[in-house]
Structure 1
Amino acid sequence: MSTFLSRLLASVLMIGAVAAAPAAYAAGTNDLGDTTVVLTHGAFADGSSWSRVIPILEAKGLHVVAVQNPLSSLNDDVAATKRVIEQQTGPVVLVGHSWAGVVISEAGNDDKVKALVYVSAFAPDAGQSIADMIKDLPPAPWAKELHKDSAGYLTLSDKAIHQYFAPDLSPAEQRVVAATQGPWYSGCIDEKVTHPAWRGRPSYFVISTQDQMIDPALQEQMAKHIGATITRVHGSHVSLVSHPQAVAGAIIEAAERIGHPAQ
């Protein structure tokens, strides 16, 4: 090979390497593999309620774990969530749906937790319970469809699942939700958060604008009170099932900003 061709080839390779460097850096900034998303489900549900969100998060390289909450008390659900957080080695984005907003507000004080995401959830302040937050609101129509067993655990009727809880799911999906619902201990509504984790961490809030379980106006109020980054979804209380892309998008945004807080 002539000296001229050798120099030309070397120049081309050098230019290619320089051009590739920004792309390589950009790819590195999107590497979320060391971040874990811990998903906590709400009342009348279980970990499978995140089944449509999980693949989207994993496709972004995130490690994902769904907690199976016993729904027996705030302390029990917080303990179950903390056990999962303890097992993680990197930063954690802690996500809570519905009742689990109370759970993550308490469990999220762990040092590994770097961001909180509330999905159609309660976000209480210190010394607040769900009962405190809804005491001035008119009675919810779905409350008449609650069934309480002899141990004080609540379940929703099939009618409530269809009409209030998951009206934007297909009838077949609604039947699965009804069949797999987790009974929720009635005393949970009066349990208070001690030190809300959102006071020391960035928070995100997915507001379901068609929610008939938690008033969207109350969701707006809570989201603004905690200074959350807001995503609004035209969906029911189970927007994590009916609009998984939007819900996953808010979680991914939280994960991406953990290492880049100025973005």
Structure 2
Amino acid sequence: MSRSPKPTVVLVHGAFADASSYAQVIPRLIARGLDVVAPAVPNRSLIGDAAYIASVVRQIPGPVVLVGHSYGGAVITVAGTEDNVQALVYLAGYALEKGESLGELQGRFPDSDLAAALVYTPFPLEGPVGTGTDVSVQPDKFPPIFAADVDRRLTEVLAVSQRPLAAQAFADSAPAAAWKTKPSWGLVASSDHTINPDVQRYGYQRAGMTTVEVDSSHLVMLSRPESVVELIEDAIRATSA
């Protein structure tokens, strides 16, 4: 029996971060002979961000394993409906139901420590529509809330180089839920102070995902990269035969 070609792993970052959050995962995947793409997510709206990631996926020849961290989980929930996506992997992420928003899913559970550390900043929108609102994390609160088990010097850099998330992203309803038709895996960061781990568990269980729990902060890709790579490899093995 012949095997499908190795998939390209597309790594989708979350809010308050960029693709460098996968810096410990990317070289490990490459060392395993996998092609990797780690695009920059605009972080402007769930609908727009998912459309952008879908456009990246469509241009990749062959199968794709789509990995989403945090808000990136919501993005892959929508973008993962692309025909060449063979598996979804959620890392401390939001697995939305069709028609559900981030705010609605999160509102089912008690707030994490993140809620009290958010900063709201207006920014100009193109055209005559006024201003939008950027959401970021107070820099001094970023290390303990986002990455308590990551080297403090690195988290201080991450804290002042955040990629904010526009508030619109919390309100957009997911027009699709790719996990309904694509095999999915989920990692719960059990020591997460950014997204309540019960939000992660609920979304994964509702989707019927294969789930693992890792004692990690929200930035599990930097604190426990081997666990992340193992889960991605599990998804590849299960869907590439």
Quick one: which of 149, 155, 167 aligns to 1:174?
Answer: 155
> Which amino acid in the other structure matches residue 161 of structure 2?
T
CA contact (8 A) 1:36 1:65 kept: yes
Q: Which residue of 137, 141, 146 corresponds with 1:160? A: 141
2: CA distance, partners of 1:134 / 1:148: 18
Aligned residues, how many? Answer: 232
Would you tell me which structure has more helix in proportion to its own residues? 1
Q: CA deviation at 1:216?
A: 1.2
Cα deviations by residue, 1:162-215 (Å, 9 ceiling, x for unpaired): 221111111101112112210110121111112200000100001101011111
CA deviations 1:223-243 (Å, max 9, x no partner) are 111111112111000001100
Give the corresponding residue for 2:186.
205
Aligned residues of 1:33 and 1:61 also touching (Cα < 8 A): no
TM-score (norm 1): 0.84
Q: Which runs of no fewer than 5 residues in structure 1 stay unpaired? A: 1-24
In the TM superposition, what is the alpha-carbon distance from 1:33 to its structure 2 partner?
5.9
Give the TM-score normalised by structure 2: 0.91
Distance in 2, Cα, partners of 1:253 & 1:105? 19
Hey, what does 2:174 align to over in structure 1?
Answer: 193
Contact 1:99 1:121 in 2 (8 A): yes
Structure 2 letter corresponding to 1:43: A
Instruction: Measure how far apart 1:160 and its partner are.
Output: 2.1
Match of 1:220 in 2: 201
CA distance in 1, matches of 2:201, 2:207: 10
3-state SS of the aligned residue for 1:149? strand
SS at match of 2:230: helix
Is 1:129 matched with 2:86?
no
How is 1:39-50 mapped onto 2 (pairs within 5 angstroms)? Answer: 39-50=11-22
Give 1:67-78 correspondences, 5 Å limit.
67-78=39-50
| Aligned-CA RMSD value | 1.6
Instruction: Assess, with a 3 A threshold, how the Cα gap between structure 1 residues 34 and 141 changes in structure 2: closer, same or farther.
Output: closer
Q: Residues 145 and 159 of structure 1 are in contact (CA less than 8 Å); yes or no, is this contact kept in structure 2?
A: no
Q: Following the alignment from structure 1 to structure 2, what is the Cα–Cα distance between the partners of residues 247 and 56?
A: 10
* 1:23-172 mapped onto 2 (5 Å cutoff): 34-151=6-123, 152-172=133-153
Equivalent residue, structure 2, for 1:243: 224
Q: Could you report, residue by residue, the CA deviation over 1:106-149 in whole angstroms, capped at 9, with x for unpaired residues?
A: 00000000100000000010111111112232333322221111
What residue is the counterpart of 1:22 in the other structure?
none
Contact 2:47 2:174 in 1 (8 A): no
Unaligned runs of 5+ in 2: 124-132
Give the match's secondary structure for 2:87.
strand
Report the 3-state secondary structure (helix = DSSP H, G, I; strand = E; otherwise coil) of the residue aligned with 2:140. Answer: helix
Relative contact order, higher structure (CA 8 A, sep 6+): 2
Can you list the C-alpha shifts for 1:8-48, whole angstroms capped at 9, x where unaligned?
Answer: xxxxxxxxxxxxxxxxx9xx96xx86310011000001111
Q: Which segments of structure 1 move beyond 6 Å, counting only runs of 4 or more?
A: none
Identify the residue that residue 13 of structure 1 maps to in structure 2: none
Give the equivalent residue in structure 2 for 1:252.
233
Contact 1:33 1:62 in 2 (8 A): no
Structure number with greater Rg is 1
* Structure 1 residues 150 and 131: alpha-carbon distance in aligned structure 2, compared to 1, 3 A threshold: same
